[in-house]
């Protein structure tokens, strides 16, 4: 394994966060970029030093296949975060935060508490890189190395989370990695922790886990060993159903095509079932 100043997650699900950082770094370098994430290049460069060159080439090729759609997704969520904050929300929880840098790049207010939940191996890398470049968040950022299949609510409350204040919960590509029962448990738990007015957004998508980039993604996540579990193709649909069934949220669905139209890129997929929903806690 190449020498690196950092402990780089070169396999396992935490590795997927590096792929998204590569995507954000590339987007940030475009003249017509949808957002600017200067830290993404630092993450990508620091990660590359820990990869075997051939494996890094594969990771970049994989990121390329997700580039356009994933990048637009980042911008969509930036807009959701901005909207919630402008509406007075002062508590944000990033589920599976990965190498997200909204705490640093969005000029979020100092009285906003932003909780980042992800696996310990992800933060071992992320915090080391952030510290090396002296990155300073504009809001009150709290880092929670925790497994979403475990007791993450305790980690949240120990870090100053208040269940009596409205929260914006962000799922940006993590819940689909959980098994349907774990996915469901997370949604049930965050429902319990959500004061009226809290928001939860999640993607509704349809993917064939055995086609396109997904088999290679699984191979890389598993470190080219045993096949890792596929992302759950129906996760988004199920989540909507649970929320509606529980009648504890008002939900609004918007198709992907409608949402990305203003970006002026060729991103439409023509499938009206695919999109995101925003749920507001009653
Ligand atoms: C595709 S990445 C997305 C990261 C980030 N949301 C973004 O968009 O850049 C998925 C993230 O979910 C995290 N993750 C996966 N399973 C998890 C679990 N059981 N508990 C906590 N985090 C998890 C991974 O470590 C990884 O950082």
In a domain, 153, yes or no: yes
Q: pLDDT tier at 244 (50, 70, 90 boundaries)?
A: low
In a domain, 6, yes or no: no
Whole-number Å distance between alpha carbons of 146 and 156:
9
Question: Residue 243: which domain range?
Answer: 15-281
pLDDT of residue 222: 86
In a domain, 101, yes or no: yes
pLDDT tens sequence across 79-91:
999 999 999 999 9
Q: Which residue has the higher pLDDT, 201 or 119?
A: 119
pLDDT tens sequence across 108-148:
999 999 999 999 999 999 999 999 999 999 999 999 999 99
Atom of ligand 1 nearest to the CA of 182: 19
Atom of ligand 1 nearest to the CA of 121: 25
In a domain, 10, yes or no: no
Whole-number Å distance between alpha carbons of 67 and 70:
6
CATH of the domain at 147: 3.40.50.150
Q: Does 14 sit in the ligand 1 pocket, CB within 6 Å?
A: yes
In a domain, 7, yes or no: no
Question: How many structural domains is the chain composed of?
Answer: 1
Q: How far is the CA of 173 from the centre of ligand 1 (A)?
A: 7
In a domain, 83, yes or no: yes
In a domain, 2, yes or no: no
In a domain, 4, yes or no: no
Q: Quick one: CA dihedral 37, 97, 184, 160, positive or negative?
A: negative
Task: Name the nearest CA neighbour of 62 among 183, 191, 220, 168.
Answer: 220
Per the prediction, the chain carries an average pLDDT of 91
């Amino acid at each position: 394994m190449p020498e690196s100043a950092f402990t780089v997650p070169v396999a396992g699900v935490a590795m997927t966060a590096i792929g998204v950082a590569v995507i954000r770094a590339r987007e940030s370098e475009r003249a017509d970029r949808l957002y600017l994430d200067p830290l993404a290049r630092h993450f990508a460069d620091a990660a590359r030093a820990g990869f075997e060159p051939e494996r890094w080439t594969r990771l970049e090729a994989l990121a390329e296949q997700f580039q356009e759609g994933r990048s637009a997704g980042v911008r969509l969520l930036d807009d959701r975060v901005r909207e919630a904050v402008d509406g007075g929300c002062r508590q944000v929880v990033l589920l599976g935060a990965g190498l997200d840098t909204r705490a640093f790049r969005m000029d979020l207010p100092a009285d906003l508490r932003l909780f980042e939940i992800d696996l310990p191996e992800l933060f071992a890398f992320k915090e080391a890189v952030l510290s090396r470049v002296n990155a300073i968040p504009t809001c009150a950022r709290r880092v929670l190395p925790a497994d979403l299949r475990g007791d993450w609510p305790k980690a949240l409350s120990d870090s100053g989370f208040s269940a009596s204040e409205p929260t914006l919960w962000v799922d940006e590509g993590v819940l689909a990695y959980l098994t349907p029962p774990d996915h469901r448990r997370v949604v049930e738990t965050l429902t319990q922790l959500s004061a009226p007015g809290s928001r939860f957004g999640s993607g509704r998508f349809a993917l064939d886990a055995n086609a396109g980039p997904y088999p290679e993604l699984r191979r890389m996540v598993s470190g080219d060993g045993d096949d890792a579990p596929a992302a759950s193709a129906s996760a988004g649909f199920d989540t909507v159903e649970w929320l509606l069934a529980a009648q504890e949220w008002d939900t609004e669905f918007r198709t992907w095509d409608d949402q990305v139209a203003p970006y002026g890129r060729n991103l439409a997929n023509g499938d009206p079932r695919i999109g995101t929903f925003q749920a507001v806690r009653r």
